[in-house]
Chains A and B, each alone.
Chain A
Amino acid sequence: MLAIQVLLSGITSGSIYAIVALGFVLIYKGTRVVHFGLGEQVTLGAYLVIIGQLYAGFPFYLAVAAAVALAGGFGFLVERCIMRPISYQPVLVQIIGTLAIGLAIREGLRAFMGPHGWPFEFLLSPAPVSVAGIFFAWSNVAIIAASLAVMAASFVFFTYSRLGQAVLAACENPVGAYLVGVPVRRVISWIWIMASVLAALAGILIAPIITLSPEMGLIGIKGFTAAVLGGFTSLPGAVAGGFLLGVIETATGTYTSSAMKDATTFVLLVLVIILRPHGLFGFAQFKKV
């Protein structure tokens, strides 16, 4: 019984990690840069909802819609104004660029919204309900359902829509895609918009479970670990990695201690990095000399 409980809980958080992982892999496949600030964009998404409710008086769902739209716009601007100008610089500079974006978001939120936590509404009731001896909350169900919906929508998008196909093509082979008429630059903009939307959705889904504060961005590392677990080169892999991480993390937290739970992600990460074969990430392209 406990095992099923753990599974349920793990799948809940794992589904959110999966969404964040999708965002990471999307941007990486499209631009060969890991967006280290994506975690902060997750935070931003949740905060935008609060801002919409507080300052514009929006009801919850309108605030959510507005937040997602704004997040997409934000992603577009970031790509246009920061990432594109530095796309010709060495990878080190681009990495620092994404870190800087994350820092700016975090500090901006802290400045404008304060360093303390904010309460966030649950989509459905968080009260535990018992079915056949297993405790779960309807809010968990809402999270899992919403996450699955997001992933399904993404899948449909990539498989059946023209823009989705273009994105995949540009990810596989930018030069080839360019030659067959795919507007690669525009596709990259769309990639950033999509990843930002995914991040915002993940933030909105997870905000009820954890305290919403500017520090929330560390979920980015979990999303990244999930992506790494999934091999970092495939979108389905990212999803699988997310669920895997969620379950492992919850299991560790339940069967050992909560302190270990925090460390799980990092230990997993270090293990995968050390043990995985060289070059799968693509950074060691064979340089022709």
Chain B
Amino acid sequence: MAYSASRNSRRSDARPGIKVMAWCCVVAVPLLLPSIVSEYRLFQVGLIASTSLVAAGLVIVTGVAGQVSLAQAAFVALGAYGSTLLAQDLGISQWIGIPVSAVAAGAVGYVLGLLTLRMGGHYLALATMALTAIVQVVIVHWQSLTNGALGLAVMPLTIGGKPLTSGVALFYVVIPVTVAMFALAANLLDSRVGRAFAALRQSEIAASTLGINVLHYKALAFALSAVFGAVGGGLQALQTTYLDPQSFGIVESVLFIAIIVIGGFRSMAGAVLGSAVFTIIPTMLGAFQSYRGLAFALLLLGTIVLFPGGLAGLGSAGLAKGLSWFEGRRK
């Protein structure tokens, strides 16, 4: 996996965050025309966006900082249930509720990250799995709060008293938030923080002798993954309008890992690519709907064994291959 976390090699004061935003807007513009694009398509794109936010968080902590995290489903749950319950029980609109839940999730993430003092690798995978399981168990059994296994209906987002429920309306909420957060993430990775994440992944020993407080940075990576996961979860709750505890388990955490592996482990673009594949596969399968999980799992296995760089890696590797072929022909 040959990506460097930063693209600093080009210019020191590049503003890749703005570039990312510009790119996304360019891509999104054609979709803004509702006459061309159906409501269903808008909804799909919105789902891809919220999923890719969750995946982006995982790219930060697992792809760049190298810390295996199977806790993403837990953070998604915190964002989804948090914002929904705040709206339902305390009348706090999701406009505020989602950021608040995200900050709370971030705090949990930071504490989880501190646990890495004691463990890495397999143990960390297990501890993060345990967090997901515990959160799910709490949700299922705290029925008075969460309605337990029956699930929870999500109150719609309102603006000035008017509920936003149509695909178009949610699209206009989800896409800008996603683009903005991706820009922030890209900025972060292209800074000393991002370099520190990549450094501690590649050599903790060297990183610590270069002034990097490895424990703090690992915890920070987890906190950021939690924030992204929670925001993604909150947005997704608005899109799916119903929360089922079954969808916040260890399997879902594994699916998020699968998404970033398929899309490309270390890049933000990979988060989007993987989410797109994940969201679109069911529609591609048509009649074979029930096989979508298997198809995705096999795709994951194939990627791990054959294309460790994922789709994003294929892109740059393909480009390199194409270039060298071209060079060969010129001789």
Contact = CB atoms under 8 A, between A and B. Distances in A.
Nearest to A84: B305
B305 A86 contact: yes
In which size bucket is the chain A interface?
35 or more
B81 to A, nearest CB: 18
B133 A111 contact: no
7 contacts: A96-B261, A102-B254, A103-B258, A104-B298, A104-B301, A224-B126, A266-B133
Contacts of B120: 283-284
Contacts of A108: 294, 297
A152 interface: no
Nearest to A115: B290
Contacts of A221: 129, 133, 250
A289 B205 CA distance: 9
A51 interface: no
Q: Report the 10 A-B pairs with minimum CB-CB distance, sorted nearest first.
A: A107-B293, A104-B297, A107-B294, A103-B297, A259-B141, A34-B122, A266-B130, A100-B300, A111-B294, A111-B291
Interface in A257-277: 259, 262-263, 266-267, 269-270, 273-274
Contacts of B250: 218, 221
A103 B130 CA distance: 17
A214 to B, nearest CB: 9
B297 A107 contact: yes
Interface in A80-96: 81-82, 85-86, 89, 91-93, 95-96
B296 A107 contact: yes
A263 B308 contact: no
A281 B254 contact: no
B137 A269 contact: no
Interface of B is mostly: helix
Contacts of A89: 308
Contacts of B125: 34, 36, 95
A52 interface: no
Contacts of B291: 111
A281 B304 CA distance: 25
Contact of B304 (A93, A287, A289): A93
Interface string B282-322: 00000000110110111011001100100000000000000
A269 B261 contact: no
A266 B137 contact: yes
Interface of A is mostly: helix
Given A263-B134, A287-B205, A97 B118 contact: no
Contacts of B180: none
B316 to A, nearest CB: 18
Nearest to A276: B118
A108 B295 CA distance: 9
Nearest to A263: B137
B127 A111 contact: no
A91 B290 CA distance: 32
Residue from A34, A82, A273, A278 with most neighbouring chain B CB atoms (10 Å): A273
Given A103-B251, A108-B294, A259 B137 contact: yes
A151 interface: no
A103 B259 CA distance: 13
B305 A82 contact: yes
Contacts of B305: 81-82, 85-86, 97
Contacts of B301: 82, 97, 100-101, 104
A257 to B, nearest CB: 9
B218 to A, nearest CB: 14
Nearest to B301: A100
Contact of A92 (B66, B130, B205, B258): B66
B308 A92 contact: no
B157 interface: no
Nearest to A281: B123
A273 B129 contact: no
